[in-house]
Amino acid sequence: MSEILTLPPNLPKAQNAEVGASKFCPGCGHGITLKALAQAVDELGIKQKTVFGCDIGCSLLAWNYMDLDTVQTHHGRTTPVIYGFTRANPDAIGIAYMGDGGGLAIGAQHLVNATVRGERLMIVVVNNTNYGMTGGQMSPTTMPGQKTETTPYGRDCSVTGKPAKAAEMVASIADKEKSFVARSSVSNVIKLKSTFVKGLKNVQNGGFSFVEVLSICPLNWRTNNVDTFARLQQMEEFFEVKEFLAPVS
Protein backbone atom coordinates (compact mmCIF):
# COMPACT_ATOMS: atom_id res chain seq x y z
CA MET A 1 0.00 0.00 0.00
CA SER A 2 2.71 2.43 0.96
CA GLU A 3 4.47 1.78 -2.33
CA ILE A 4 1.42 2.87 -4.28
CA LEU A 5 1.21 6.08 -2.29
CA THR A 6 4.79 7.04 -3.11
CA LEU A 7 4.39 6.53 -6.85
CA PRO A 8 5.35 9.78 -8.60
CA PRO A 9 2.37 11.57 -10.09
CA ASN A 10 1.98 11.07 -13.79
CA LEU A 11 2.19 14.69 -14.78
CA PRO A 12 2.50 15.96 -18.32
CA LYS A 13 5.81 17.76 -18.94
CA ALA A 14 3.94 20.97 -19.62
CA GLN A 15 2.44 20.88 -16.14
CA ASN A 16 4.39 22.45 -13.27
CA ALA A 17 5.48 19.67 -10.91
CA GLU A 18 6.59 22.21 -8.30
CA VAL A 19 3.19 23.80 -7.78
CA GLY A 20 2.12 21.31 -5.10
CA ALA A 21 -1.51 20.98 -4.21
CA SER A 22 -3.85 22.57 -6.71
CA LYS A 23 -5.49 25.82 -5.60
CA PHE A 24 -8.68 24.91 -7.43
CA CYS A 25 -11.64 23.82 -5.33
CA PRO A 26 -12.15 20.09 -4.90
CA GLY A 27 -13.97 18.74 -7.93
CA CYS A 28 -13.22 21.76 -10.12
CA GLY A 29 -13.05 21.23 -13.88
CA HIS A 30 -9.97 23.44 -14.36
CA GLY A 31 -7.57 20.73 -13.20
CA ILE A 32 -8.95 18.26 -15.77
CA THR A 33 -8.91 20.88 -18.51
CA LEU A 34 -5.38 22.08 -17.78
CA LYS A 35 -4.05 18.53 -17.64
CA ALA A 36 -5.59 17.77 -21.05
CA LEU A 37 -4.11 21.00 -22.35
CA ALA A 38 -0.67 20.13 -20.97
CA GLN A 39 -0.89 16.68 -22.54
CA ALA A 40 -1.74 18.28 -25.88
CA VAL A 41 1.28 20.59 -25.60
CA ASP A 42 3.45 17.55 -24.79
CA GLU A 43 2.09 15.58 -27.70
CA LEU A 44 2.93 18.36 -30.14
CA GLY A 45 6.30 19.05 -28.51
CA ILE A 46 5.64 22.79 -28.41
CA LYS A 47 6.40 23.50 -24.75
CA GLN A 48 9.41 25.69 -25.53
CA LYS A 49 7.50 28.01 -27.81
CA THR A 50 4.13 28.22 -26.09
CA VAL A 51 2.98 31.26 -24.14
CA PHE A 52 0.13 30.67 -21.79
CA GLY A 53 -2.06 33.54 -20.64
CA CYS A 54 -4.68 33.24 -17.96
CA ASP A 55 -7.45 35.62 -17.02
CA ILE A 56 -9.10 36.83 -13.84
CA GLY A 57 -11.61 34.58 -12.16
CA CYS A 58 -10.79 31.00 -11.28
CA SER A 59 -8.57 30.74 -14.36
CA LEU A 60 -6.05 33.05 -12.67
CA LEU A 61 -5.18 30.20 -10.32
CA ALA A 62 -3.50 28.63 -13.35
CA TRP A 63 -0.80 31.32 -13.17
CA ASN A 64 1.85 28.82 -12.07
CA TYR A 65 0.02 25.58 -12.85
CA MET A 66 1.77 24.93 -16.13
CA ASP A 67 5.45 24.50 -16.80
CA LEU A 68 5.00 27.03 -19.58
CA ASP A 69 5.94 30.68 -19.81
CA THR A 70 2.85 32.25 -18.32
CA VAL A 71 1.30 35.66 -17.83
CA GLN A 72 -1.73 36.26 -15.71
CA THR A 73 -3.60 39.31 -16.97
CA HIS A 74 -6.72 41.32 -16.13
CA HIS A 75 -10.34 40.29 -16.38
CA GLY A 76 -11.19 39.70 -20.02
CA ARG A 77 -7.79 40.92 -21.23
CA THR A 78 -5.93 37.70 -21.83
CA THR A 79 -6.85 37.62 -25.50
CA PRO A 80 -5.29 41.02 -26.35
CA VAL A 81 -2.17 40.30 -24.28
CA ILE A 82 -1.61 37.03 -26.11
CA TYR A 83 -2.35 38.30 -29.60
CA GLY A 84 -0.14 41.29 -28.80
CA PHE A 85 2.57 38.76 -28.03
CA THR A 86 2.08 36.56 -31.08
CA ARG A 87 1.89 39.60 -33.36
CA ALA A 88 5.29 40.62 -32.03
CA ASN A 89 6.67 37.08 -32.02
CA PRO A 90 5.01 35.11 -34.83
CA ASP A 91 6.93 31.93 -33.93
CA ALA A 92 5.18 31.65 -30.59
CA ILE A 93 2.12 29.49 -29.98
CA GLY A 94 -0.30 31.55 -27.91
CA ILE A 95 -2.95 30.16 -25.59
CA ALA A 96 -5.46 32.53 -23.99
CA TYR A 97 -7.20 30.71 -21.15
CA MET A 98 -10.28 32.15 -19.48
CA GLY A 99 -13.72 31.50 -18.09
CA ASP A 100 -17.14 32.20 -19.57
CA GLY A 101 -17.27 35.63 -17.93
CA GLY A 102 -13.85 36.69 -19.24
CA GLY A 103 -14.56 35.31 -22.69
CA LEU A 104 -18.18 36.22 -23.26
CA ALA A 105 -18.97 39.18 -21.02
CA ILE A 106 -16.15 41.55 -20.07
CA GLY A 107 -13.83 40.36 -22.85
CA ALA A 108 -16.43 39.72 -25.55
CA GLN A 109 -15.12 42.48 -27.82
CA HIS A 110 -11.69 40.85 -27.84
CA LEU A 111 -13.17 37.43 -28.64
CA VAL A 112 -15.20 38.86 -31.52
CA ASN A 113 -12.39 40.90 -33.00
CA ALA A 114 -9.63 38.34 -32.50
CA THR A 115 -11.88 35.84 -34.30
CA VAL A 116 -12.66 38.20 -37.16
CA ARG A 117 -9.00 39.13 -37.58
CA GLY A 118 -7.99 35.48 -37.38
CA GLU A 119 -5.40 36.17 -34.68
CA ARG A 120 -2.88 33.38 -34.39
CA LEU A 121 -3.70 31.91 -30.99
CA MET A 122 -5.97 29.38 -29.31
CA ILE A 123 -8.63 30.86 -27.08
CA VAL A 124 -9.90 28.44 -24.44
CA VAL A 125 -13.15 29.41 -22.71
CA VAL A 126 -13.86 27.16 -19.76
CA ASN A 127 -17.63 27.34 -19.38
CA ASN A 128 -18.92 26.41 -15.93
CA THR A 129 -22.08 28.54 -16.30
CA ASN A 130 -21.23 30.96 -13.50
CA TYR A 131 -18.69 33.38 -12.07
CA GLY A 132 -16.91 31.02 -9.71
CA MET A 133 -14.26 33.12 -8.04
CA THR A 134 -16.52 36.03 -7.17
CA GLY A 135 -18.97 33.71 -5.48
CA GLY A 136 -21.25 32.24 -8.09
CA GLN A 137 -23.10 34.98 -9.95
CA MET A 138 -24.99 34.55 -13.20
CA SER A 139 -22.78 34.54 -16.28
CA PRO A 140 -23.70 34.79 -19.96
CA THR A 141 -23.83 30.97 -20.11
CA THR A 142 -25.89 30.31 -16.97
CA MET A 143 -28.51 27.70 -17.85
CA PRO A 144 -32.23 28.57 -17.99
CA GLY A 145 -33.63 28.19 -14.50
CA GLN A 146 -30.18 27.84 -12.92
CA LYS A 147 -29.89 29.31 -9.44
CA THR A 148 -26.95 31.65 -8.87
CA GLU A 149 -26.29 34.42 -6.35
CA THR A 150 -27.75 37.00 -8.75
CA THR A 151 -30.54 34.70 -9.96
CA PRO A 152 -31.51 33.21 -6.59
CA TYR A 153 -34.89 32.09 -7.99
CA GLY A 154 -33.40 30.63 -11.13
CA ARG A 155 -32.37 32.34 -14.39
CA ASP A 156 -35.46 33.84 -15.95
CA CYS A 157 -34.65 34.10 -19.64
CA SER A 158 -37.51 36.53 -20.21
CA VAL A 159 -35.48 38.99 -18.11
CA THR A 160 -31.88 37.97 -18.81
CA GLY A 161 -32.09 36.63 -22.34
CA LYS A 162 -31.00 33.13 -23.24
CA PRO A 163 -27.58 31.64 -22.50
CA ALA A 164 -24.83 32.68 -24.89
CA LYS A 165 -23.50 29.98 -27.17
CA ALA A 166 -19.88 30.90 -27.64
CA ALA A 167 -18.72 28.27 -30.10
CA GLU A 168 -21.69 28.86 -32.41
CA MET A 169 -21.07 32.61 -32.33
CA VAL A 170 -17.37 32.27 -32.99
CA ALA A 171 -17.95 29.73 -35.78
CA SER A 172 -20.40 32.07 -37.47
CA ILE A 173 -17.88 34.91 -37.74
CA ALA A 174 -14.59 33.02 -38.14
CA ASP A 175 -12.73 32.54 -41.40
CA LYS A 176 -13.72 28.99 -42.32
CA GLU A 177 -10.49 28.27 -44.10
CA LYS A 178 -8.25 29.18 -41.19
CA SER A 179 -10.25 28.53 -38.04
CA PHE A 180 -10.74 25.60 -35.75
CA VAL A 181 -13.80 25.99 -33.54
CA ALA A 182 -15.04 23.30 -31.19
CA ARG A 183 -16.95 22.66 -28.03
CA SER A 184 -15.69 19.90 -25.80
CA SER A 185 -16.41 18.71 -22.26
CA VAL A 186 -14.51 17.61 -19.19
CA SER A 187 -16.70 14.48 -19.25
CA ASN A 188 -14.48 13.04 -21.97
CA VAL A 189 -10.85 13.81 -21.22
CA ILE A 190 -9.43 11.90 -24.16
CA LYS A 191 -11.65 13.80 -26.56
CA LEU A 192 -10.80 17.04 -24.78
CA LYS A 193 -7.11 16.43 -25.28
CA SER A 194 -7.49 15.54 -28.95
CA THR A 195 -9.55 18.69 -29.42
CA PHE A 196 -6.76 20.79 -27.92
CA VAL A 197 -4.24 19.00 -30.15
CA LYS A 198 -6.30 19.93 -33.22
CA GLY A 199 -6.67 23.49 -32.01
CA LEU A 200 -2.97 23.92 -31.31
CA LYS A 201 -2.01 22.28 -34.63
CA ASN A 202 -4.19 24.79 -36.40
CA VAL A 203 -2.36 27.63 -34.61
CA GLN A 204 0.93 26.03 -35.63
CA ASN A 205 -0.36 26.22 -39.19
CA GLY A 206 -1.02 29.93 -38.77
CA GLY A 207 -4.70 29.70 -37.95
CA PHE A 208 -7.10 30.82 -35.23
CA SER A 209 -8.56 28.31 -32.79
CA PHE A 210 -11.36 28.50 -30.28
CA VAL A 211 -12.21 25.73 -27.85
CA GLU A 212 -15.10 26.04 -25.43
CA VAL A 213 -14.86 23.51 -22.63
CA LEU A 214 -18.01 22.56 -20.73
CA SER A 215 -16.83 22.35 -17.15
CA ILE A 216 -18.07 21.77 -13.65
CA CYS A 217 -18.27 23.89 -10.51
CA PRO A 218 -19.58 21.71 -7.68
CA LEU A 219 -18.80 24.34 -5.06
CA ASN A 220 -21.00 27.06 -6.50
CA TRP A 221 -23.46 24.66 -8.00
CA ARG A 222 -23.76 23.11 -4.52
CA THR A 223 -23.88 19.65 -6.08
CA ASN A 224 -22.50 16.29 -5.07
CA ASN A 225 -20.61 14.07 -7.49
CA VAL A 226 -23.64 12.46 -9.02
CA ASP A 227 -25.55 15.70 -9.42
CA THR A 228 -22.49 17.48 -10.78
CA PHE A 229 -22.13 15.10 -13.67
CA ALA A 230 -25.88 14.97 -14.17
CA ARG A 231 -25.82 18.70 -14.64
CA LEU A 232 -22.86 18.46 -16.98
CA GLN A 233 -24.91 16.05 -19.04
CA GLN A 234 -27.75 18.60 -19.16
CA MET A 235 -25.26 21.20 -20.31
CA GLU A 236 -24.06 18.87 -23.05
CA GLU A 237 -27.63 18.59 -24.25
CA PHE A 238 -28.07 22.35 -24.25
CA PHE A 239 -24.62 23.26 -25.61
CA GLU A 240 -23.88 20.95 -28.51
CA VAL A 241 -20.52 19.20 -28.12
CA LYS A 242 -18.88 19.05 -31.54
CA GLU A 243 -16.40 20.55 -33.95
CA PHE A 244 -18.00 23.53 -35.60
CA LEU A 245 -15.15 24.44 -37.90
CA ALA A 246 -12.05 22.49 -38.82
CA PRO A 247 -9.86 23.59 -41.70
CA VAL A 248 -9.15 20.87 -44.22
CA SER A 249 -5.47 20.14 -43.91
Partner 1 sequence: MVNKLIKEDTKMFLTGNEVLAYAANSAEAEFMYGYPITPQNEIMHTWCKLLPKTGAGFLQTEDEISAGFSTIGGILAGKRAFTATAGPGNVIMQDAQSMAEMMRIPFVCAVMQRGGPSTATVIYAQQETRLTCFGGNGEGFRIVYSTAGHQDLYDYMIKAFNTAWKYRFPTYVLADGYQGKMREPVVLYDPASRGISMVPTEKYLLADGEIGIDRKSAHLRNTYNMEDELMEVLEGYKTDYEKMSEEVQEWEEYKADDAEILVIAHGIVARSARTAIDELREKGIKAGLFRPVTVRPLAVKPLREAVQRAKRILFTESANGQLAQMVLEKLYGLNTPYDTLFKMGVGVTGDDIVNKVEEMAKCSLEVSPL
Determine how many CB atoms are found less than 10 A away from the CB of residue 106.
18
Whether residue 67 contacts residue 14, with contact meaning beta carbons closer than 8 Å, is answered with: yes
Binding characters for partner 1, 128-147, by CB under 8 A (x = yes): --------------------
> Between 52 and 196, whose beta carbon lies closer to partner 1?
52
Report which secondary-structure segment, H or E, holds 244.
Answer: strand 243-245
Distance CA 48, CA 239 (A): 34
Nearest distance from C-beta of residue 18 to partner 1, angstroms: 8
54 forms bridges with which residues in the sheet?
72, 97
Region near partner 1 per CB under 8 A, out of 55-63, 151-159, 204-212, 237-245: 55-63
List the Cα angle 201/207/210 in 5-degree steps. 80
User: For residues 179 and 228, which CB has a smaller minimum distance to partner 1 in the complex?
Assistant: 179
What residues numbered 57-96 form the site for partner 1, per CB under 8 A?
A: 60, 63-64, 66-74, 77, 79-89, 92
Q: Which of residues 186-225 bind partner 1 (CB under 8 A)?
A: none
Angle ∠(31,33,226) on CA atoms, nearest 5? 75
Q: Is the CB of 75 or the CB of 231 nearer to partner 1?
A: 75
Q: List the interface residues with partner 1, window 97-116 (CB under 8 A).
A: 109-110, 112-113
